[in-house]
Structure 1
């Protein structure tokens, strides 16, 4: 599993992608309307080079449902980011607290290393005894 900062970066990248997808959806499927009485809407199904039109309006209910779904996805991703941020060590942990915790962890690591070294010694002793026993056994 990735560390918290990597997860946070991935979530922020995904949120940016979702923002772009939302803007693209709204830009592609909005309803064509005039902003002032002097404005007019061109009726172009295809561009001069045969490319499809830039705006493909959806019915109002489908457009609204799409917007709602995209907004919910953005909210969920934002909540995931907030959760990941809350899991990071930060403002509630002062520098002294973090140094103290690091020293405690170093001590635990030293103890664990001593236990490992002792276990290795015991293993070698047992192997030596076993080897001696095996060598002392004579075939009938």
Structure 2
């Protein structure tokens, strides 16, 4: 398991990736609509003037043709599916943010002075020493029992 700072950095990297993926999804799958209203139709005097200048390109002032199709990757979702995906993306971002907040809260802070940390390390060192002593005793007891079992098995073979 990685240390807390590495976990925190990994979470920030994952959060950045989630932000990018969310924005990409939203930009590709939203229902496109015009940001500004279309311009009003030209008056008849301007219309005649424009017709003489725009005979070469008759569709120059028109919106997209009705038969416009989206690239396969950019098809808009249904409103219900899009709203569901938005909620799910938001929940994922909130969950990752809470995970980051938890990792930050368990980091040693200013309130943990160097003396407190030394005292904690000394206490942990003492606990480790006790655990090693218990392990040594358990290994000695195991060797004793193995010797007894070997003696019993050797006695049965004779």
TM over 0.5: yes
Look up the match of 2:34.
33
In the superposition, the TM-score normalised over structure 1's length comes to 0.65
Q: 1:112 to 1:27 in 2, by over 3 A?
A: same
| Higher alpha-carbon Rg | 2
Q: 1:2-47 CA deviation, whole Å, 9 max, x = no partner?
A: 3462543443333222211111022213433245878x9962736x
Q: 1:106 to 1:42 in 2, by over 3 A?
A: farther
Matched pairs, number: 133
Alignment of 1:92-131 (within 5 A): 92-131=111-150
Give 1:138 deviation, angstroms.
8.4
Structure with the larger RCO, 1 or 2 (CA within 8 Å, 6+ apart): 2
Alignment of 1:1-140 (within 5 A): 2-3=1-2, 5=4, 7-30=7-30, 31-35=32-36, 43=64, 45=68, 52=71, 56-58=75-77, 63-132=82-151, 135=154, 139=158
In the superposition, the TM-score normalised over structure 2's length comes to 0.59
CA distance in 1, matches of 2:99, 2:62: 42
Q: Where do 5+ consecutive residues of structure 1 fail to align?
A: none
Give 1:82 deviation, angstroms.
1.0
Q: Where do 5+ consecutive residues of structure 2 fail to align?
A: 40-60
